A and B are shown apart, each in its own frame.
Chain A
Amino acid sequence: NAGVTQTPKFQVLKTGQSMTLQCAQDMNHNSMYWYRQDPGMGLRLIYYSASEGTTDKGEVPNGYNVSRLNKREFSLRLESAAPSQTSVYFCASRRRGRKTQYFGPGTRLLVL
């Protein structure tokens, strides 16, 4: 049981490049989330998926798209990366009816 896994661990992009951050969970959780963490700030929600086939915007969705590929996987895409998207990105999941979210190890993204 690996919990929540994220790939890659670290990525450097040039402005304008695109990439997809991958997240998978093996806990049969219904809800999945993408957060970003910037220095001096708590985590901020980008997008979430309450269940397979649904996605909703969070607090800071601009510049991002998501796909809930199946129950296990929830990907985050940057179509045209900007330096303002330099951050650490966390994926999380939660079982329906439970209160706690479980987090992945994070992906550190640097946009030059």
Chain B
Amino acid sequence: AQTVTQSQPEMSVQEAETVTLSCTYDTSESNYYLFWYKQPPSRQMILVIRQEAYKQQNATENRFSVNFQKAAKSFSLKISDSQLGDTAMYFCAFRTSGSRLTFGEGTQLTVNP
């Protein structure tokens, strides 16, 4: 069975600074996909970034980037130049070709002015 672990229930960062959210996962599969979703107070789930396991290059989307360490089964999210609108719950998620998403417990990020 696949598991996803986010060991930081809460984090805070000052506006304009950089923060890194951690995620580890466990799987015996070799082909899989990793995601970070953001859930603001509106509760909607919004895709932030995704990474294919077969790609060695780390994914980047504007201020969001990942550090994907396949051997260590680690998938951290770096947010640069943090903005107040980044305040949200962030979920790491994992999917194999079998189509099911497995989510971590979430990290509540607060960006302080």
Contact = CB atoms under 8 A, between A and B. Distances in A.
A41 B44 contact: no
Given A99-B33, A99-B95, A100-B50, A43 B43 contact: no
A44 to B, nearest CB: 8
A105 B46 CA distance: 10
B84 interface: no
Interface in A67-101: 88, 90, 92, 94, 99-101
Interface of A, helix, strand, loop or mixed by DSSP: strand
Candidate in A99, A104, A108 with the most chain B CB atoms within 10 angstroms: A99
A45 interface: yes
A78 to B, nearest CB: 19
A40 interface: yes
Secondary structure type dominating chain B contacts: strand
B89 to A, nearest CB: 10
Interface string A26-51: 00000101000000111111001010
Contacts of A48: 99-100
A61 interface: no
Nearest 6 Cβ contacts at the A-B interface? A42-B103, A103-B45, A106-B43, A43-B103, A105-B44, A99-B33
Given A101-B101, A103-B37, A106-B43, 18 more contacts: A33-B101, A40-B9, A40-B105, A40-B106, A41-B106, A44-B103, A45-B101, A50-B99, A88-B43, A94-B99, A99-B33, A100-B50, A102-B47, A103-B44, A103-B45, A104-B44, A105-B42, A105-B44
Interface of A: 31, 33, 40-45, 48, 50, 58, 88, 90, 92, 94, 99-106, 108
